[in-house]
Amino acid sequence: MSRIPPVPTEGRFAVLAGSAPEGAPLDGWGALMAAAQQGNGGAYRRLLMELNEWLTGFYARRLPGPAIEDAVQDTLISIHEKRHTYDPQRPFKPWAAAIARYKWIDRLRAMRRQATEPLPEDIAVDDHEASVASAVALRSLLQRLSPGQEEAIRLVKLDGLSVREASRQSGQSESLVKVNIHRGLARLARLVQGEFDED
């Protein structure tokens, strides 16, 4: 799971690995990321796939089962967006682990915020059953998304903001807002489909 691949010995990776100053801690993943920073898609794909395995193990020890895949995906997106902050002269794994830990803490905070609270029984209500039921169902579905997905969908699809406005308001980059909407809607569709199947 957490093995560090050997430094590639062929092609462009080997050049990159070989170009590091003597004694520089350029490990296998570091060499792959250095190649990715130059735009090498093959190296990047290999790195992300190996990171996927490593991150799954990392979060499996720290998060409940349903949250693991989301956490892995969030972290991969963050690594993608922050890849320019990796210094190829330094070891890769502490850099990736710091980002994984940051996203883990972020997720724990979000889970704490989403803790349910019992409603008082004496709330006065008119008969808005259908709209209330829809709102509750929607809220319940949105809560099952990651905080980033939930926020992106709420801002763009429910509040009607543009991607740029949503990006500014949420602090997510525009590309992350788009990815979160895409992934969130796909997940919502699966959730709704699952509930239909159960019915």
CA 197 distance to own-chain centroid: 28
Residues 149, 110: contact at Cβ < 8 Å?
no
Q: How far apart are CA 51 and CA 116, in angstroms?
A: 33
Q: How far apart are CA 6 and CA 61, in angstroms?
A: 26
Span of 7-15, 22-30, 68-76, 133-141 interacting with another protein by CB under 8 A: 68-76
Residues 35, 12: contact at Cβ < 8 Å?
yes
Q: Which of 108, 132, 137, 186 binds another protein (CB under 8 A)?
A: 186
Span of 8-16, 20-28, 87-95, 138-146 interacting with another protein by CB under 8 A: 87-95
**CB-side neighbour CA atoms (13 Å) of 7:** 18
Applying CB under 8 A, does 83 fall inside the site for another protein? Answer: yes
Residue span 22-61 as binding mask against another protein, x where in contact by CB under 8 A, dash where not: --------------xxxx-x--xx--xx--x---------
List of residues contacting another protein (CB under 8 A): 36-39, 41, 44-45, 48-49, 52, 69, 72-73, 76-78, 80-88, 90, 94-95, 98-99, 101-102, 170-173, 175, 179, 182-183, 186-187
